[in-house]
Amino acid sequence: MSDVIVPLFITAREYEGHVQLLATDYDAALFEKHRAVIAALSLYPVIDMDRDAAVRCFPAARVGMESHRILGIDPARSRHGYDMAAGFNGFLRSVFSLPSSSSAGRRNNKPRLVMVLRSHSRVLTNEAEAVAALTEVGFEVVVAGEGDVSDMARFAETVNSCDVMVGVHGAGLTNMVFLPRNATLVQVIPWGAMKWPCWYDFGEPATGMGLRYVEYEVTAEETTLKDKYPRDHPVFADPLSIHSKGQVWEYFLQGQNVTLDIPRFREAMHQVYLSITTE
Protein backbone atom coordinates (compact mmCIF):
# COMPACT_ATOMS: atom_id res chain seq x y z
CA MET A 1 0.00 0.00 0.00
CA SER A 2 2.67 2.50 1.05
CA ASP A 3 5.24 1.66 -1.63
CA VAL A 4 2.91 1.52 -4.64
CA ILE A 5 -0.72 2.48 -4.13
CA VAL A 6 -0.33 5.79 -2.27
CA PRO A 7 2.35 7.06 -4.71
CA LEU A 8 0.22 5.87 -7.63
CA PHE A 9 -2.75 7.80 -6.25
CA ILE A 10 -0.66 10.97 -5.88
CA THR A 11 0.61 10.61 -9.45
CA ALA A 12 -2.45 9.39 -11.36
CA ARG A 13 -5.57 10.61 -9.56
CA GLU A 14 -5.60 14.01 -11.25
CA TYR A 15 -6.24 12.40 -14.66
CA GLU A 16 -9.60 10.99 -13.51
CA GLY A 17 -9.01 7.65 -15.19
CA HIS A 18 -7.80 9.00 -18.53
CA VAL A 19 -4.25 7.74 -18.13
CA GLN A 20 -2.46 4.62 -19.34
CA LEU A 21 -0.35 2.88 -16.70
CA LEU A 22 2.89 1.19 -17.80
CA ALA A 23 4.76 -1.05 -15.39
CA THR A 24 8.20 -2.63 -15.25
CA ASP A 25 8.98 -5.63 -13.02
CA TYR A 26 5.27 -6.40 -13.28
CA ASP A 27 4.02 -8.23 -10.18
CA ALA A 28 0.81 -10.02 -11.16
CA ALA A 29 -0.11 -10.86 -7.57
CA LEU A 30 0.24 -7.24 -6.46
CA PHE A 31 -1.85 -5.93 -9.34
CA GLU A 32 -4.53 -8.56 -8.71
CA LYS A 33 -4.67 -7.70 -5.01
CA HIS A 34 -5.16 -4.01 -5.82
CA ARG A 35 -7.18 -4.51 -9.00
CA ALA A 36 -10.19 -2.47 -7.82
CA VAL A 37 -8.00 0.47 -6.78
CA ILE A 38 -6.00 0.45 -10.01
CA ALA A 39 -9.18 0.22 -12.09
CA ALA A 40 -10.46 3.34 -10.34
CA LEU A 41 -7.28 5.22 -11.28
CA SER A 42 -7.08 4.12 -14.94
CA LEU A 43 -9.75 3.19 -17.48
CA TYR A 44 -7.24 1.05 -19.38
CA PRO A 45 -5.42 -2.26 -18.76
CA VAL A 46 -1.96 -1.96 -17.23
CA ILE A 47 0.80 -2.57 -19.80
CA ASP A 48 3.66 -4.86 -18.78
CA MET A 49 6.56 -3.06 -20.48
CA ASP A 50 8.94 -5.99 -20.03
CA ARG A 51 6.73 -8.24 -22.20
CA ASP A 52 4.83 -5.88 -24.47
CA ALA A 53 6.80 -5.09 -27.64
CA ALA A 54 4.19 -2.88 -29.30
CA VAL A 55 5.07 0.69 -30.31
CA ARG A 56 2.71 3.27 -28.81
CA CYS A 57 2.55 7.03 -29.08
CA PHE A 58 1.38 9.26 -26.24
CA PRO A 59 1.01 13.05 -26.20
CA ALA A 60 2.79 13.21 -22.82
CA ALA A 61 4.28 10.96 -20.18
CA ARG A 62 5.21 11.00 -16.51
CA VAL A 63 8.04 8.67 -15.59
CA GLY A 64 8.05 7.24 -12.08
CA MET A 65 5.67 7.90 -9.21
CA GLU A 66 5.56 10.74 -6.72
CA SER A 67 6.05 9.77 -3.08
CA HIS A 68 6.08 12.04 -0.04
CA ARG A 69 6.42 9.79 3.03
CA ILE A 70 5.30 6.42 4.36
CA LEU A 71 1.51 6.16 4.11
CA GLY A 72 1.30 9.91 3.77
CA ILE A 73 0.60 12.77 1.42
CA ASP A 74 1.87 16.32 1.86
CA PRO A 75 -0.88 18.60 0.49
CA ALA A 76 1.68 21.36 -0.07
CA ARG A 77 3.66 19.10 -2.42
CA SER A 78 0.69 17.51 -4.15
CA ARG A 79 -0.13 19.18 -7.48
CA HIS A 80 -3.82 19.23 -6.60
CA GLY A 81 -3.59 19.55 -2.82
CA TYR A 82 -4.49 15.93 -2.08
CA ASP A 83 -4.21 14.71 1.50
CA MET A 84 -4.71 11.35 3.21
CA ALA A 85 -7.86 11.88 5.27
CA ALA A 86 -10.21 13.34 2.67
CA GLY A 87 -8.20 12.55 -0.44
CA PHE A 88 -6.77 9.04 -0.38
CA ASN A 89 -8.98 7.55 2.33
CA GLY A 90 -12.04 9.13 0.76
CA PHE A 91 -11.00 7.64 -2.57
CA LEU A 92 -10.78 4.17 -0.99
CA ARG A 93 -14.22 4.57 0.58
CA SER A 94 -15.56 5.29 -2.89
CA VAL A 95 -13.73 2.34 -4.50
CA PHE A 96 -14.97 -0.18 -1.94
CA SER A 97 -18.36 1.49 -1.28
CA LEU A 98 -17.58 1.87 2.41
CA PRO A 99 -20.41 3.51 4.35
CA SER A 100 -18.63 4.99 7.37
CA SER A 101 -16.64 8.17 6.93
CA SER A 102 -16.45 8.95 10.65
CA SER A 103 -16.45 7.09 13.95
CA ALA A 104 -18.61 9.13 16.27
CA GLY A 105 -18.40 6.82 19.28
CA ARG A 106 -21.16 4.53 20.50
CA ARG A 107 -22.80 5.42 23.75
CA ASN A 108 -25.61 2.88 23.40
CA ASN A 109 -23.76 0.11 21.55
CA LYS A 110 -20.52 -1.74 22.10
CA PRO A 111 -17.57 -0.15 20.29
CA ARG A 112 -16.39 -2.52 17.59
CA LEU A 113 -12.71 -3.51 17.55
CA VAL A 114 -10.70 -5.45 14.98
CA MET A 115 -7.62 -7.27 16.23
CA VAL A 116 -5.08 -7.97 13.49
CA LEU A 117 -3.08 -11.10 14.28
CA ARG A 118 0.27 -12.23 12.95
CA SER A 119 1.38 -15.83 12.38
CA HIS A 120 5.13 -15.79 11.63
CA SER A 121 6.89 -13.26 13.85
CA ARG A 122 5.75 -10.78 16.50
CA VAL A 123 2.97 -13.25 17.22
CA LEU A 124 0.72 -12.77 20.25
CA THR A 125 1.30 -15.98 22.15
CA ASN A 126 -1.73 -15.38 24.39
CA GLU A 127 -4.13 -14.00 21.81
CA ALA A 128 -7.13 -15.85 23.29
CA GLU A 129 -6.57 -14.20 26.67
CA ALA A 130 -6.12 -10.82 24.98
CA VAL A 131 -9.40 -11.20 23.10
CA ALA A 132 -11.16 -12.23 26.31
CA ALA A 133 -9.77 -9.14 28.07
CA LEU A 134 -10.99 -6.88 25.28
CA THR A 135 -14.44 -8.43 25.51
CA GLU A 136 -14.46 -7.91 29.29
CA VAL A 137 -13.58 -4.26 28.78
CA GLY A 138 -16.70 -3.89 26.63
CA PHE A 139 -15.60 -4.18 23.01
CA GLU A 140 -17.25 -6.24 20.32
CA VAL A 141 -14.13 -8.00 19.03
CA VAL A 142 -13.46 -9.13 15.47
CA VAL A 143 -10.37 -11.32 15.12
CA ALA A 144 -8.55 -11.06 11.77
CA GLY A 145 -5.83 -13.49 10.74
CA GLU A 146 -3.64 -13.24 7.67
CA GLY A 147 -6.22 -15.12 5.59
CA ASP A 148 -8.86 -12.50 6.41
CA VAL A 149 -6.53 -9.62 5.59
CA SER A 150 -5.68 -11.07 2.16
CA ASP A 151 -9.24 -10.48 0.87
CA MET A 152 -8.95 -6.71 0.58
CA ALA A 153 -12.52 -5.86 -0.41
CA ARG A 154 -14.07 -7.93 2.37
CA PHE A 155 -11.56 -6.84 4.99
CA ALA A 156 -12.02 -3.19 4.02
CA GLU A 157 -15.70 -3.53 4.94
CA THR A 158 -14.80 -5.17 8.24
CA VAL A 159 -12.30 -2.47 9.21
CA ASN A 160 -14.62 0.33 8.14
CA SER A 161 -17.26 -0.99 10.54
CA CYS A 162 -14.88 -0.71 13.50
CA ASP A 163 -14.03 2.02 15.98
CA VAL A 164 -10.64 0.57 16.95
CA MET A 165 -7.86 -1.45 15.31
CA VAL A 166 -5.29 -3.26 17.47
CA GLY A 167 -2.20 -5.11 16.32
CA VAL A 168 1.50 -5.69 16.82
CA HIS A 169 3.71 -3.55 14.58
CA GLY A 170 3.65 -4.93 11.04
CA ALA A 171 2.22 -4.65 7.55
CA GLY A 172 -1.29 -5.63 8.64
CA LEU A 173 -1.69 -2.22 10.27
CA THR A 174 -1.65 -0.55 6.85
CA ASN A 175 -5.31 -1.56 6.73
CA MET A 176 -5.97 1.40 9.01
CA VAL A 177 -6.58 3.27 5.74
CA PHE A 178 -10.07 1.74 5.82
CA LEU A 179 -10.92 2.93 9.34
CA PRO A 180 -13.48 5.72 9.60
CA ARG A 181 -12.21 9.14 10.62
CA ASN A 182 -11.75 9.60 14.40
CA ALA A 183 -11.35 5.85 14.90
CA THR A 184 -8.41 4.68 17.03
CA LEU A 185 -5.31 2.74 16.03
CA VAL A 186 -3.60 0.90 18.89
CA GLN A 187 -0.11 -0.23 17.91
CA VAL A 188 1.59 -2.82 20.09
CA ILE A 189 5.26 -1.83 19.98
CA PRO A 190 7.72 -4.75 20.21
CA TRP A 191 10.62 -4.73 22.64
CA GLY A 192 13.87 -3.15 21.46
CA ALA A 193 13.80 0.68 21.42
CA MET A 194 11.21 0.46 18.65
CA LYS A 195 9.07 3.42 19.69
CA TRP A 196 10.35 5.87 17.08
CA PRO A 197 10.39 3.45 14.11
CA CYS A 198 6.85 2.36 14.99
CA TRP A 199 5.73 5.98 15.22
CA TYR A 200 7.32 6.74 11.86
CA ASP A 201 5.72 3.74 10.11
CA PHE A 202 2.20 3.94 11.54
CA GLY A 203 1.78 6.55 14.28
CA GLU A 204 2.49 9.65 12.22
CA PRO A 205 0.51 8.33 9.22
CA ALA A 206 -2.45 7.56 11.50
CA THR A 207 -2.67 11.16 12.71
CA GLY A 208 -2.47 12.32 9.09
CA MET A 209 -5.55 10.21 8.34
CA GLY A 210 -7.55 11.84 11.09
CA LEU A 211 -7.24 8.83 13.39
CA ARG A 212 -6.48 8.71 17.08
CA TYR A 213 -3.24 6.93 17.87
CA VAL A 214 -2.40 4.93 20.99
CA GLU A 215 0.80 3.01 21.74
CA TYR A 216 1.13 -0.07 23.91
CA GLU A 217 4.86 -0.51 24.45
CA VAL A 218 5.93 -4.06 25.29
CA THR A 219 8.05 -4.48 28.43
CA ALA A 220 10.99 -6.82 28.92
CA GLU A 221 8.64 -9.21 30.72
CA GLU A 222 6.30 -9.37 27.72
CA THR A 223 8.79 -10.32 25.03
CA THR A 224 9.81 -13.91 24.30
CA LEU A 225 13.37 -12.59 23.93
CA LYS A 226 13.64 -13.06 27.70
CA ASP A 227 13.60 -16.81 27.07
CA LYS A 228 16.53 -16.54 24.63
CA TYR A 229 18.91 -14.00 26.14
CA PRO A 230 20.13 -13.06 29.64
CA ARG A 231 19.32 -9.61 30.96
CA ASP A 232 22.91 -8.44 30.50
CA HIS A 233 22.75 -9.16 26.74
CA PRO A 234 22.62 -6.03 24.53
CA VAL A 235 19.07 -7.01 23.54
CA PHE A 236 18.05 -5.83 27.02
CA ALA A 237 21.04 -3.86 28.31
CA ASP A 238 21.63 -1.74 25.19
CA PRO A 239 18.95 -2.18 22.49
CA LEU A 240 20.22 0.82 20.54
CA SER A 241 23.50 -0.99 19.93
CA ILE A 242 21.47 -3.58 18.03
CA HIS A 243 20.06 -0.75 15.93
CA SER A 244 23.52 0.68 15.22
CA LYS A 245 24.70 -2.72 13.96
CA GLY A 246 21.77 -3.02 11.56
CA GLN A 247 20.38 -6.07 13.35
CA VAL A 248 16.90 -4.79 14.16
CA TRP A 249 15.25 -7.23 11.77
CA GLU A 250 17.11 -10.24 13.18
CA TYR A 251 16.47 -9.52 16.85
CA PHE A 252 13.46 -7.25 17.26
CA LEU A 253 11.28 -7.81 14.20
CA GLN A 254 11.88 -11.40 13.12
CA GLY A 255 13.27 -12.70 16.40
CA GLN A 256 10.55 -12.10 18.97
CA ASN A 257 6.95 -12.86 19.84
CA VAL A 258 4.84 -11.09 22.44
CA THR A 259 3.09 -12.41 25.54
CA LEU A 260 0.91 -9.58 26.77
CA ASP A 261 0.66 -8.74 30.46
CA ILE A 262 -3.12 -9.13 30.44
CA PRO A 263 -3.95 -6.88 33.44
CA ARG A 264 -1.70 -4.15 32.02
CA PHE A 265 -3.16 -4.57 28.52
CA ARG A 266 -6.71 -4.59 29.88
CA GLU A 267 -6.16 -1.30 31.71
CA ALA A 268 -4.65 0.34 28.62
CA MET A 269 -7.59 -0.77 26.49
CA HIS A 270 -10.05 0.33 29.18
CA GLN A 271 -8.71 3.85 28.71
CA VAL A 272 -9.27 3.53 24.95
CA TYR A 273 -12.80 2.30 25.63
CA LEU A 274 -13.53 5.30 27.85
CA SER A 275 -12.14 7.71 25.25
CA ILE A 276 -14.70 6.36 22.78
CA THR A 277 -17.78 5.91 24.96
CA THR A 278 -17.56 9.11 27.02
CA GLU A 279 -16.67 11.58 24.28
The answer to whether residue 150 scores a pLDDT higher than 90 is no
Distance between CA atoms of residues 51 and 177, nearest Å: 33
CA distances from 93 to 37, 99, 161, 222 (A): 10, 7, 12, 37
The answer to whether residue 105 scores a pLDDT higher than 80 is no
The answer to whether residue 106 scores a pLDDT higher than 60 is no
177: Cα separation from own chain's centroid: 7
The answer to whether residue 107 scores a pLDDT higher than 60 is no
Distance between CA atoms of residues 6 and 31, nearest Å: 14
Distance between CA atoms of residues 238 and 249, nearest Å: 16
Q: Is the pTM for the entire model greater than 0.85?
A: yes
Domain residue limits, the chain: 5-95, 112-277
Q: Which residues contact 269 (CB under 8 A, 6 or more apart)?
A: 133, 134, 137, 139, 166, 186
Domain 112-277 has CATH 3.40.50: yes
Distance between CA atoms of residues 211 and 64, nearest Å: 30
Distance between CA atoms of residues 38 and 52, nearest Å: 19
**pLDDT 10s digits, 206-238:** 999 999 999 999 999 999 999 999 999 999 999
Q: What's at 194, amino acid-wise?
A: M
- The answer to whether the CB of 209 falls within 8 A of the CB of 84 is yes
What is residue 29's three-state secondary structure? Answer: helix
Distance between CA atoms of residues 178 and 157, nearest Å: 8
Mean pLDDT of 189-196: 97
How does residue 104 score in pLDDT terms, banded at 50, 70 and 90? low
The lowest-confidence range among 3-12, 127-136, 182-191, 257-266 is 3-12
